Structure 1
Amino acid sequence: MNKLYLLGLFLIFVPVLCLAQQYKHIPLQDAAGIKVHRKAPKQELQITFPNLNQLPYYQDGKKLAAIQKLEKKRRYNEVLPLLEAYVNNFGIENFYKDTPLIWRLGQLLEKQGQAEKAKSLYRLVLKHHRSDVRRVYSYYDSLEQNNKDFYVPLNYYYEMVEYRKSVSTFQPPKGVYLNMGNSINSPYEDYGPTINSEDDVLIFTSQRNTQGLNGRANEDLFYTQQQNGYWEEAKSFGKPINSIYNEGSACLSRDGNTLYFARCESPDGFGNCDLYVATKQADGTWGNIQNLGKDVNSTSWDSQPTLTANEDTIYFASDRLGGFGLSDIYYTYKNKKGEWQKAENAGPVINTRESEVSPFFHPMYQVLYFSSRGQLYNFGDFDIYKTYRVGGQWQEPRNIGPLVNGRGSEYYFSIDSKSKNLYYARSEASDLHNLDLFSFPLPMEAHPLAVTKIEGTLIDSVTNKPLSGIISVIDLENGIEISSKYIRPDGSFEFDLIDNTKYMMLIQSPDFFTIEREISLQQDTAFQIMTTIIDYSVPMVFKNIEFDQNQSDIKEDMKPILDEVALFLLDHPTYRLEISGHTDGAGDLQFNLELSQDRAEAIKDYIEEKGNLPEGRVEAYGFGSSKPLREEKTQEDRQINRRVEFRLIKPEKVDRKGR
């Protein structure tokens, strides 16, 4: 649908008593700020830590004493370069032992005007502290309240969709949290999906074979093949991949001939679980199973491997000693001889004092997905995040939103080669151990190419103050779903979208009618949006509602405006509407009274039917010529008196959802 529902009532109709003349009429494109940037993710200002995988803890008493001496003398300009150099030398243990130094460096950088670099350090404090830092949280939240996302709860998101179905041509969401069904999932835990490069073989881990080592549940690898768009019933990998030991969390090479997986409690292992590699034989079976060795594996738990696009690096999860938290993301890479090198920690931006697990490296792009319970802005227990590698550094991870992350836990995220569908394991909040496999179309927040930023500010054209509301964006070409967000406290909003694509932007608010505007991200674009809030105490008259003489039939040119009114009532289900019909003074008084009532009733019936509204939300009254606005001396006077007035009745209290 390429129709614009204008924001401000003063843009589409004139309030009675000529109140519109008190306000400047501002065209939609001429006011306040949506800007589009067609650039790859920019590199964030971060400090590098070259000692992370070289020494566990850095300390230099003389340098620290010099810094403290300058601090006491308040010579902060001299403190800053010394403290930055000191923190730059941190090893992993410094991040939880010396977080006050990171916090102090951030403060000094902020005072010097380096706000973005300072915030990156504040985030490190919040991720790695092991003490009470409520003051830091409070301070950081105050800095970020106009930068972070305020997602609309999923249940209300679907209510919004239902409200709009009768007046909107947009397709409803495809749905999220779609279970892959009984042919894949079992009554036991199923998790760890990975898909081959052809997108027709899905490998996963299951505990359905209960006879394992020492009578415990046994983890085995299973696979399913896609035929005619449907996944067939899952089958076991069988021997020699599956054994009396636990196997799982596999990934395939691009040609499908090399399998990396985890095996636990095996006699040839170095720790609890190790990473192994197997090769497909000429007859199609798997063999030549080898442990990746002590440079990769540790004496602890090592599992969940994922290959990079060029297949020379493996990222995996490990709870080995010397990490940042309970479990961390590590990586190993091949040297020129094809040998896997000593595993290294992926660093303090990805890892936290909590657990990071189940990494997935996108098969085409420099994007790493992983599950975490220690990153900022969690929706549930474990959430899935994505991070981009820019200039050799991992950028701040982004939560991929409530269309993927629910109140429970999500792990083992995987995407097909075309970035069309996602596969992952999740549990409900009520049962964190009942993992099933889920698959559904990839939402925008999770898409690797969603890097074009659209941002804007919504303000009142009279007071220049920010307005509240909900922003939704609809992909008109690909059907990719995008989470709706509340407008931030300062009136701003932003989305990361895919370039060279057409979108429809919807803005809904209790203060004005909904806007629907098409946006084409094919070139750098600047939009301007400003609106005037509704004055609910003043009735309004629509310019384009003109009945034929002595008739009460709804004309075609009235319908677009009446559709807007119906849409507003759908978007704001606790608001009511009063319609009053008025005629000029010519003709019979009783006939005019009946005609005005008929016209008001006709409009009422149309709006109720269009919006499928319940009885009582719209009321219609006819006043004939009893309430003129002007003494009728001219034809213009009579035209002004011939009108239909609309009065929106606002509920006494409106919550943040506009209900």
Structure 2
Amino acid sequence: MFLIPFAGFGQYRHVPLQQNPNSKARKTAPNPEFTLDFPNLNVIPYYSNRKRLAAIEKLEKQKQYQKALPLLESHVRNFGIENFYKDTNLLWRLGQLYDRQGKKDEAIAMFRLVLKHHRSDARRVKSYYDSLEQNSTDYYVPLKYYYELVEYRKTIATFKPPQGVYLNMGNTINSEHEDYGPALSKDNEVMIFTSKRLFQGLNGKANEDLYYSKQENGYWQEAQSFGKPINSIYNEGSACLTRDGQTMYFARCESPDGYGNCDLYSARLQTDGSWGDIINLGPKVNSNGWDSQPTLSTNEDTLYFASDRLGGFGLSDIYFTYRNKRGEWAPAKNMGPVINTRESEVSPFFHPLYQVLYFSSRGQLLNFGDFDIYKTYRVNGHWLEPRNIGPLVNGKGCEYYFTIDSQSQNLYYARSEASDINNLDLYSFPLPMEAHPLAVTKVEGILLDSITHKPLSGVISVIDLENGIEIASKFIRPDGSFEFDLIDNSRYMMIIQGPEFFTMERELSLQQDTTFQIMTTLIDYSIPMVFQNLEFDQNESTIKPEMEETLDAVAYFLVDHPTFRLEIAGHTDGAGNPEFNLALSQDRADAILRYIRNKVPIPLERIEAIGYGSTKPLRPEVTEEDKRINRRVEFRLIKPDKPQPGISW
């Protein structure tokens, strides 16, 4: 186990987001990405121009790539939906032309479309895409290993474990049958969801009904059925409310007045508190297939939903409709090839304050399980590449029906265990950073060994110091780089762990529109490690049994790495006589030195023990916790000046 000296650089940048005029909250969004407009998507199913394709092919054979590029780009812009699975080879060729002209972002965008929509062997594209993206891909730490890190970090003094995940909402909400599709009222005090807990449907099948629960004093009350006329012998579910709580949109299936398998409906709250005026949204919105899972935009003028209607990109797609000048819902449109894939996209959720859409998919490029939840931002009229919201939410099973409260503090969603993907329950827990709509301030850097200048390997974790939320840990990329999306005007702690020991802790204080650099100097020796379990009894210097495991690890490291030296520094708090504190800290450092030398045969010149008493406090002593932090033993593993043959860095 060792601390790695390194040099690195980090910075972040801030980009304004399109603002909702009805909200006073500050908003941010990622940098705009390259996108092609496809005006024919919802106009024609397929586009072809043989004359132009022949001209493009001729120019490519003549290696006149600069002339071929604008012609092929113009052709691809005219694609209808069918082109994306029939002509993915043209997307691949356009990506290659972009790449030849040094337009890497444009090339990557095309290769992504190929991988999302191909219906034949795309291993060649995947291999090339991976080679381009290996130094920008997020290498998330597997969840099992992440929790091992959390357990190990409990021995480090500075931090407590992160707040728990996968918190089942309990039997006041969930039943022994499937429960899913949560939606919240504007004040977050009422939750609506779908359940199959009653078996009274058509043909003896489980009946889907809408239920609600009210929150009182922070606790969700026993779920209640909406009853008639919302619930019927048909299936109802996937509801959402307007901000004033007066209108509800929901899905009803197998109804005689429907246009397809499932249709979207609206209902109005009556003066007596019941629901009525149930209206089918009509054939401009509904199809002869399955239409369900509605969600409203922040201004409530656009309705997003999932549909498996014919003419889409995959098994099911995300569509939208908007109110025209007459207040009517316009014909539904497909959201396009960046959001939708050849697989299934379902359960959209539009954030109540920001231009952020969440949805569940099994066809995006980073996937942890069967269905994962993603978020996408609308910037300059375009939806950006969807981002997986990370392994703290997405597991090996299925995650659907993602919902966030209006303060972006808690998430609610349905998930199943990998062993039983058909039995959904509702879960809730504090919103992880990857899922937060304002997590768009980019912190990035490169970690290099200060002597060899080679990229370091290891794991980076980031903790939000203001609310205790931890961001999912990531492996350092092959080139030594790392990247996190955080919230500006916030404080974070970055923990960098080498292959064996915690290597470094660095506090970051992000400020909007401020260039920030971290770790800009070459470090010739390690940042000290402080272990919580190395706490002596008051006024004593005797090694306790609970210390031995940590001290053994340090001792064995010195044996395995004979060129490293160890510095042991003892510190006390400021209480009591300074001379006594100085002597006590020296006695404690000497006790640790003797223990290590008794454990393993280490030459005395490789270990130095120094007592500093109370002369180097980490923080002013206002509370007892401050004193505890200052009472510590620090270890510095000092690297040799030059690399030694056979030594692994």
> Normalising to structure 1: TM-score of the pair?
0.80
Match of 2:90 among 79, 87, 101: 101
C-alpha displacement at 1:169, in angstroms? 3.1
Conserved in 2, the CA contact under 8 Å of 1:50 and 1:89?
yes
| 1:463/1:511 CA distance change after superposition, 3 Å | farther
Match of 2:284 among 295, 302, 307: 295
- Which residue of the partner structure matches residue 373 of structure 1? 362
C-alpha displacement at 1:44, in angstroms? 0.4
Taking the TM superposition and a 5 Å limit, the aligned residue runs for 1:37-436 are 37-39=13-15, 40-436=29-425
C-alpha displacement at 1:569, in angstroms? 5.6
Letter in 1 for 2:497: Q
Cα displacement string for residues 16-53 of structure 1 (whole angstroms, at most 9, x for unaligned residues): xxxxxxxxxxxx8xx53111112231110111111100
Taking the TM superposition and a 5 Å limit, the aligned residue runs for 1:497-516 are 497-510=486-499, 514-516=503-505
**Secondary structure of 1:109's partner?**
helix
- Which residue of the partner structure matches residue 9 of structure 2? 33
Give me the whole-angstrom Cα distance separating, in 2, the residues matched to 1:203 and 1:570: 54
Letter in 2 for 1:619: K
C-alpha displacement at 1:162, in angstroms? 1.4
Give me the whole-angstrom Cα distance separating, in 1, the residues matched to 2:527 and 2:184: 59
Match of 2:517 among 504, 515, 526: 526
Cα displacement string for residues 525-563 of structure 1 (whole angstroms, at most 9, x for unaligned residues): 1223466698xxxxx999xxxxxxxxxx9999x99xx9x
C-alpha displacement at 1:623, in angstroms? 6.9
| 1:606/1:364 CA distance change after superposition, 3 Å | farther
C-alpha displacement at 1:246, in angstroms? 0.1
| 1:580/1:93 CA distance change after superposition, 3 Å | closer
C-alpha displacement at 1:461, in angstroms? 1.1
Give me the whole-angstrom Cα distance separating, in 1, the residues matched to 2:421 and 2:554: 36
- Which residue of the partner structure matches residue 619 of structure 1? 599
C-alpha displacement at 1:60, in angstroms? 1.1
Conserved in 1, the CA contact under 8 Å of 2:448 and 2:455?
yes
| 1:219/1:570 CA distance change after superposition, 3 Å | farther
**Secondary structure of 2:517's partner?**
strand
| 1:293/1:628 CA distance change after superposition, 3 Å | closer
Taking the TM superposition and a 5 Å limit, the aligned residue runs for 1:564-643 are 576-577=557-558, 602-603=591-592, 619=599
**Secondary structure of 1:107's partner?**
helix
Conserved in 2, the CA contact under 8 Å of 1:554 and 1:603?
no
**Secondary structure of 2:38's partner?**
coil
Conserved in 2, the CA contact under 8 Å of 1:581 and 1:621?
no
Conserved in 1, the CA contact under 8 Å of 2:3 and 2:527?
no
Q: Which moved more, 1:111-120 or 1:515-524?
A: 515-524
Conserved in 2, the CA contact under 8 Å of 1:420 and 1:442?
yes
Conserved in 1, the CA contact under 8 Å of 2:492 and 2:508?
yes
Give me the whole-angstrom Cα distance separating, in 2, the residues matched to 1:81 and 1:270: 43
Cα displacement string for residues 414-452 of structure 1 (whole angstroms, at most 9, x for unaligned residues): 000000000000011111101000000000000000000
C-alpha displacement at 1:350, in angstroms? 0.2
**Secondary structure of 2:304's partner?**
strand
Q: Which runs of 5+ in 2 are unaligned?
A: 16-28, 529-535, 560-564, 569-586, 609-634, 640-645
Give me the whole-angstrom Cα distance separating, in 2, the residues matched to 1:329 and 1:148: 26
Aligned length: 569
C-alpha displacement at 1:122, in angstroms? 0.3
> Normalising to structure 2: TM-score of the pair?
0.82
| 1:645/1:243 CA distance change after superposition, 3 Å | closer
Conserved in 1, the CA contact under 8 Å of 2:567 and 2:638?
no
Q: Which moved more, 1:164-173 or 1:301-310?
A: 164-173
Cα displacement string for residues 564-596 of structure 1 (whole angstroms, at most 9, x for unaligned residues): xx99969989964569999xxxxxxxxxxxxxx
1:484 aligns with 2:473: yes
Identical positions, percent: 66
CA-based RMSD of the aligned residues comes to: 3.5
**Secondary structure of 1:495's partner?**
strand
Give me the whole-angstrom Cα distance separating, in 1, the residues matched to 2:637 and 2:333: 67
Give me the whole-angstrom Cα distance separating, in 1, the residues matched to 2:598 and 2:188: 53
Give me the whole-angstrom Cα distance separating, in 1, the residues matched to 2:260 and 2:74: 37
C-alpha displacement at 1:168, in angstroms? 2.3
- Which residue of the partner structure matches residue 585 of structure 1? none
Conserved in 2, the CA contact under 8 Å of 1:7 and 1:513?
yes
Give me the whole-angstrom Cα distance separating, in 2, the residues matched to 1:541 and 1:34: 18
Cα displacement string for residues 249-305 of structure 1 (whole angstroms, at most 9, x for unaligned residues): 000000111000000000000000000000000011000000000000000000000
**Secondary structure of 1:247's partner?**
strand
Letter in 2 for 1:209: L
C-alpha displacement at 1:324, in angstroms? 0.2
**Secondary structure of 1:33's partner?**
strand
Cα displacement string for residues 128-182 of structure 1 (whole angstroms, at most 9, x for unaligned residues): 0000011111111111111010111112212112112133232211111111011
| 1:306/1:572 CA distance change after superposition, 3 Å | farther
Letter in 2 for 1:480: I
